[in-house]
Structure 1
Amino acid sequence: MKEKDVIKSFSKEEYQRRYNLVSDLMEQANLEALVIYGDTYRGTEVRWLSDFPPRHDTYLIWPAEGEPTLLVRHFNHVPDAKIVSNVVDTRWGGENSGVTTAKVLLEKGFTSGKIGLVGRIPYKDFNAFRSKIPKVEFVDRDRDFSRLHVTKSEEELAWLRKAGEINDATMEALAQAAVLGATEFELIAALEHAYVKEGGEHVLHFFSTTSMEAPEAFVPAQVQKDRVLKRGDVIINEIGVGWGGYTTQEHRAFAVGVKPTPLYQRLYDVAVRVHNEILNLLRPGATIREILDVGDTIHKEGFTINDGLFHGYGMGISPPPGGRTRATVHGSHQEDFQYQENMVLVIQPNIVDEASGAGLQIGNTVAITAGGVEVLTKYPLDFKTVGR
């Protein structure tokens, strides 16, 4: 690992902790090396070891013995990567990332044995590995690797707290910008300014604006429009912010210009009740079954959900496992799974009234502690009226 003089960097002890975890994984699986892939949408594993946030087709080659190599797809990204990355051997990935990765493996002497693959490696790159190094056995170790960072260290939790602080400020910026006549695009501009000026990173800004009397949305939207805020609207939102790759998200609803309608207030009350009951049961040893028991409340109240009820978080969506409700599950839940101290979750009940098409979402990012939970996003849970 090289010394760095940048704003976001962990201690030498933290990096060594990670390297030890990787070394243990490789020893247990009898691996000569790991080839770790990342891109814009799934770069957690590369960044966790190298500090570099991947863009297109980034490869981190991590040998059991010797120095790692980071291959950056775009030539003009290499100078900055050399500054940001803690990997000394950071270089261009060439015109063909798969071929270059295979060449580096050969350069390091890997002509046989077993090499673990991590990440969603493109098929053409995988074929390049096999054709260039036919005697190597390439094996999938993606899930095993992701488990290495499912339990957060104290330093990682500190970064998540920082992300949570910026997330709260971003939510407040959204509330302040929500004046009558503002467009959804103007709301985006306000919230992005709030986190960028603090050094925060873009994760997501999903939200929908719709009339409470004639709702046309029941879940935060991924794509915003030029719709203008009107009195009697509701803003349903899901806002996520990162700090050095460590991410939080929170969900709130704002009434615009008036108090919430009785239906929306009831949706909100059920969401907060479910949210709080889940928080109250979380502790080391708590199971998914217990969370699902609380989730059954939603359907007993005559409502349903559209989004997931809970999921793992911390560096984007990641283990530990999450789920929906028993009545809406796609597949099955790991009901016996037990959460452990320092795992991070998002609790996010999205309560939907199918008859009217109304819906909203309430949620927070939380870390499981020895005695319960620490809520990392702390924006008030009140059903706030904005734009008066």
Structure 2
Amino acid sequence: MTAGTTSPSAGPPRFSQEEMAGRAAALDEVMREAEVEHVVVYGANRSGSGVQWLTGWPVTREAVVVHSIGEQDALLVHFFNHLPQARRVATEASVRWAGHTPSSVVEELRARGAGGSRVGVIGALPFQAFRVLESAVDGVVDLNGAYTRLRLRKSAAEIEWLKRAAELTDLSCAALQERAAPGSSEHELVALVEGSYLPLGGTSYIHYFSIASMNSPDQCVPAQWPGERRLATGDVLSCELSTSYGIDYPGQLLRTFTVGAEPTPLYKELHAVADEALNRIEALLAPGVTPPEVVEAAAVIEEAGFTTVDDLVHGLGGGYLPPVFGSRSRTLEPLPDLRFAEGMTVVVQPNVTTTDGAAGVQTGELFQVTTDGCAHLHRFPRGMGRIA
């Protein structure tokens, strides 16, 4: 059993009580700095990492946590039939049906004496619920930025989960390389990937694919939804694979394979440039390094006459986290004013493409920033691979 988990009988893996208590204490400190004594943490439709981070309950239809300094958390859950498992999972919280969610939140806050207080909010609270909350308290304070900063640096227990997720993601890529063949459809590739980790307790995060003919390419970056396209000899397959351990703790592996043929000169060059960019960033990545320094390290992409479509670097683990930025020729907004720090987990993924967007490759993976550099979480072989 992975470190920091409890018995699997309750459902998804859980962190230790010590880990969860540390999170609550960290949030309490954020609240004191913001001068609020209560915070509402919202999630819906399997989105809203704050709820799980604080209680262990992965959001299903809708869930809200009312957290107050020095009091037990209240977890309000939809739907009613989700309550039994929520109670087994979120053992440190008082769990009940959400009913009319905005009214239930206000009722809970009033029971805690928050009617005349400022209240913090984490998560994408719907407008109707915001208006109800705003009318019931003395002010609503946005704590999303502060919460995101809490999530940037991972605890030792979170790193263990991410290592397991990386192992499962590597297995999915191995299954893809070993079992895909000319004639396999994108839907069948999804089945190959998922079949490798579902029996081992992994959960799906994303798996994106791009299939193109190397002689007449028409796709440069993995697509978010699979289609009917089938692999053929002479194709190139790029993939972005993420399997989670628990919920919202994924690995991420990006690789490119030729199908039944050696790479054409164009694809050989594209991948050589991507490998060089990845190696340069990996050699640089360490505490104190800035996004502009990483962009400069990846300038080999533009120097070779290529560009990128996907993000060059992004944080991952508990959400799609800062810093997020592209290469020099794909800088969509000002570079983040943020230095890399020990404990961050980031994906480095040079998606090197032609400037017309017709051809591209994908390579990279999830790294952990350590005291003096960075560490691999994945073990799948680097470089351009081959299928069949």
The TM-score bracket by the shorter chain reads over 0.9
Q: Distance in 1 between matches of 2:357 and 2:17?
A: 55
**Matching residue within 234, 254, 270 for 1:267:** 270
Range moving further from structure 2, 350-359 or 201-210: 350-359
Matched residue SS, 2:173: helix
Matched residue SS, 1:327: helix
Q: Distance in 1 between matches of 2:186 and 2:179?
A: 10
Q: Distance in 2 between matches of 1:304 and 1:280?
A: 21
Does the alignment pair 1:122 with 2:123? no
Map of 1:305-320 to 2, 5 A cutoff? 305-319=308-322
Aligned to 1:181: 183
| Equivalent residues of 2:287, 2:342 under 8 A apart | yes
**Matching residue within 66, 70, 78 for 1:73:** 78
| Equivalent residues of 2:347, 2:364 under 8 A apart | yes
Matched residue SS, 1:268: helix
| Equivalent residues of 1:4, 1:86 under 8 A apart | no
Q: Deviations over 1:185-242 (max 9, x none)?
A: 1111110111211111111011111111111210000011111211011111100111
| Equivalent residues of 2:15, 2:56 under 8 A apart | no
Does the alignment pair 1:164 with 2:155? no
Q: Deviations over 1:263-314 (max 9, x none)?
A: 1111111111101110100111111121010222211110011111001111
- The code of the aligned residue for 1:315 comes to G
Matched residue SS, 1:364: strand
TM-fit CA distance, 1:9: 2.3
Q: 1:87 to 1:381 in 2, by over 3 A?
A: same
Map of 1:241-320 to 2, 5 A cutoff? 241-245=243-247, 246-319=249-322
Q: Distance in 2 between matches of 1:20 and 1:356?
A: 48
TM-score, normalised via structure 2 length: 0.94
Aligned to 1:352: 353
Q: Percent identity?
A: 33
Q: Deviations over 1:130-189 (max 9, x none)?
A: 23x1x4211101110121121111111111111100010011111122111111111111
**Matching residue within 333, 338, 344 for 1:331:** 333
Map of 1:30-69 to 2, 5 A cutoff? 30-40=35-45, 42-69=47-74
Aligned to 1:342: 343
Matched residue SS, 2:298: helix
Instruction: State the Cα RMSD in Å.
Output: 1.6
Q: 1:274 to 1:93 in 2, by over 3 A?
A: same
TM-fit CA distance, 1:354: 2.5
TM-fit CA distance, 1:371: 2.3
Aligned to 2:380: 379
| Equivalent residues of 1:309, 1:347 under 8 A apart | yes
Q: Distance in 2 between matches of 1:232 and 1:169?
A: 25
| Equivalent residues of 1:45, 1:146 under 8 A apart | no
TM-fit CA distance, 1:316: 2.9
TM-fit CA distance, 1:21: 0.5
Q: 1:356 to 1:19 in 2, by over 3 A?
A: closer
**Matching residue within 15, 18, 23 for 1:10:** 15
Q: Distance in 2 between matches of 1:330 and 1:157?
A: 30
Q: 1:91 to 1:356 in 2, by over 3 A?
A: closer
**Matching residue within 85, 91, 95 for 2:96:** 91
Q: Distance in 2 between matches of 1:279 and 1:206?
A: 24
| Equivalent residues of 2:6, 2:15 under 8 A apart | no
| Equivalent residues of 1:250, 1:365 under 8 A apart | yes
Q: Distance in 2 between matches of 1:261 and 1:83?
A: 55
Gaps of 5+ in 1: none
Q: Distance in 2 between matches of 1:356 and 1:166?
A: 31
- The code of the aligned residue for 2:126 comes to P
| Equivalent residues of 2:214, 2:236 under 8 A apart | yes
Gaps of 5+ in 2: none
- The code of the aligned residue for 1:249 comes to Q
Matched residue SS, 2:352: strand
TM-score, normalised via structure 1 length: 0.94
Range moving further from structure 2, 98-107 or 204-213: 98-107
Matched residue SS, 1:105: helix
- The code of the aligned residue for 2:268 comes to Q
| Equivalent residues of 1:31, 1:64 under 8 A apart | no
Matched residue SS, 2:205: strand
TM-fit CA distance, 1:88: 3.1
TM-fit CA distance, 1:113: 1.2
- The code of the aligned residue for 1:361 comes to Q
Q: Distance in 1 between matches of 2:267 and 2:177?
A: 18
